[in-house]
Amino acid sequence: MVLKNFKIDFAGIGASKCATTWIYECLREHPEICMSRPKGTHYFDGGNKDYRKFFKHCSGEKLKGEFTPTYYMEPGVAKRIKDYNSDIKLIASIRNPVDRVWSHYLHNISLGDGKFEGFEEGKIYSDLLKPGFYYKHLKDYFRLFPRENILILFHQDLKKGPTSFIQVVYDFLGVNFSFVPDTASRRVAPSGFKFTGVGRTIHEGIGKPLSNSFLGRKLKSNPWLKKVFYRFANFYVNDEESNKPEFPKQLQRKVLREYKEDIDNIEQLLNKDLSSWKEL
């Protein structure tokens, strides 16, 4: 498929561990939207040169979008997106940065990328903190784009009502917002889950490759088969949400001190009461 004068209509720009995969899946299900394959193209942060290849499956009449959660915090990306399409719509999902940093850390642990006693180690600590400085990372977007072109979502609103949460996104994009995706009824992936024993073998050897394959996409496009697919995919997950390590209070206080000024600034930028983010 040749795409002339190719432009996408919207982009998700952040943030990691803020339900971006869940949002992507809800957007992918909407009949008026075509999302990139894969979710994050990294086109605007220099990772790829042929943007069209991620949208070859899209028909011309559908809105086209992607979701790369690191865009919002990479230098120069806001300007590159602006130069590419000044009318583009942008979506960012954010959450309490203290909660986000621990979720991110537990996620890394579940992948075998760290150890619990390593949380405060120099580079690990700074890498974990970086995504949570929302004001620092988003201010350029608000400087370069009209406010009506930027949608900021709050993770706590997703917990209150997944369907109404995603319908706000649909409305922002100008598509039928009464549509209810199957994904809306599925729990957002918990932080710190892990696969055990045979579950890890099945997940790594079958589940992930199948999900990303042509067959997997076909399975998920059929509502009945999709339910079977996710039931299989989730069967061996050992959700240790109730048993996961607690975030030590002294570390929470330390992290909150790091974020205090940025929280004050993002409150003013968004004109949003975020006092709950300043409480432990």
Q: Which of 43, 46, 69 is nearest to 55 (CA)?
A: 43
Per-10-residue mean pLDDT of the chain, 280 residues long, equals: 72 96 97 96 85 92 96 96 97 98 86 65 87 98 98 96 98 98 81 46 52 60 53 44 77 96 98 96
Taking the model in full, what pTM does it have?
0.80
What residue ranges do the domains of the chain occupy? 10-189+249-272, 194-238
Q: What is the pLDDT of residue 103?
A: 92
Q: What is the pLDDT of residue 171?
A: 99
User: Buried (b) or exposed (e) across 9-19, using 16+ Cβ within 10 A?
Assistant: bbbbbbbbbbb
Q: What is the pLDDT of residue 46?
A: 80
Tell me if 150 sits within 8 A of 10, measured CB to CB.
no
* CATH (one of 2.130.10.10, 3.40.640.10, 3.90.230.10, 3.40.50.300) for 10-189+249-272: 3.40.50.300
Radius of gyration (Cα) for the chain, nearest Å? 19
Q: What is the pLDDT of residue 107?
A: 83
Q: What is the pLDDT of residue 186?
A: 83
Tokens encoding 25: 């899946």
Contacts of 57 (CB under 8 A, 6+ apart): 1, 34, 37
